[in-house]
Structure 1
């Protein structure tokens, strides 16, 4: 049985285990939807961060956002992939965490999202924190307790 009474979620900083921004697939506001769909398809991700030209976080775009944008009244309108930009269909109201937040806050965000963008004080994305990282923390705590 995993005993989490001594596992202090409020003492582990998000920044310690985040994936650095340089390693994160993303798109920019003015990219056409075609480009975003290619990035999502080639990486295998369902969603990626959207950044402006200065690296500031603007939102998230997903495959389902793009597909939904292509639906016309009676048919799928593939031309919308070339006519619309990421900014037209992205979601900007997504939760983020700051570089100073702890695993406790990230846990609350990641209940409903597969990743959270980690922002600095200037809203620049410095990385992402994923559900996978949270699960690894719990796994490591479990194995640590098993070895005692």
Structure 2
């Protein structure tokens, strides 16, 4: 086995724990928040999508600017006045990528291909944080340097 093959094998089997952005630093909303609150969080954070958590801090989905705007799109205009009456739960995307804290880098890399971030959960399905595509690519870049 060559040194490069060994390094590649070590990288791909590495656990993702060092790359996780802690839940304390992640913008998120709750299921029952109104869409105007979610849109405000999205705009202030600069993100296009954020996790949606329940009262037990378990991931239930994610909400994006596009989902919010689609929900208030009327026939002839945006019905902005509806933002406060619709909850996050009714328009969020429930099919989102999730990994456990002990997932391998290869699994994270594969999952990140179609998603800007992956929600990370512990063994009890509690939200631990996120793994961004950016952090994954940064590690790959360092490997090839």
TM over 0.5: yes
Which of residues 73, 83, 86 in structure 1 aligns to 2:85?
83
**Cα root mean square deviation, aligned:** 1.4
Structure 2 residue runs of 5 or longer lacking an equivalent are none
Alignment of 1:22-41 (within 5 A): 22-41=24-43
State the distance in 2 between where 1:89 and 1:66 align.
Answer: 7
CA contact (8 A) 2:30 2:54 kept: yes
Q: How far is 1:75 from its partner?
A: 2.3
Q: How far is 1:4 from its partner?
A: 6.2
Alignment of 1:45-60 (within 5 A): 45-60=47-62
Alignment of 1:125-140 (within 5 A): 125-140=127-142
Structure 1 residue runs of 5 or longer lacking an equivalent are 144-148
Tell me, yes or no, if structure 1 residue 97 matches structure 2 residue 102.
no
Q: How far is 1:10 from its partner?
A: 3.4
Please name the residue that 1:110 is paired with: 112
CA contact (8 A) 1:56 1:122 kept: no
CA contact (8 A) 2:99 2:108 kept: yes
Please name the residue that 1:12 is paired with: 14
Q: How far is 1:101 from its partner?
A: 0.3
Q: How far is 1:12 from its partner?
A: 1.1
TM-score by length of 2: 0.92
Tell me, yes or no, if structure 1 residue 71 matches structure 2 residue 76.
no
SS state of the match for residue 60, structure 1? Answer: strand
Deviates more, 1:72-81 or 1:41-50: 72-81
Q: How many residues align?
A: 141
Q: After superposition, what is the alpha-carbon deviation per residue over 1:89-112, rounded to whole angstroms, capped at 9, x for unaligned?
A: 001111211111011111111100
Please name the residue that 2:46 is paired with: 44
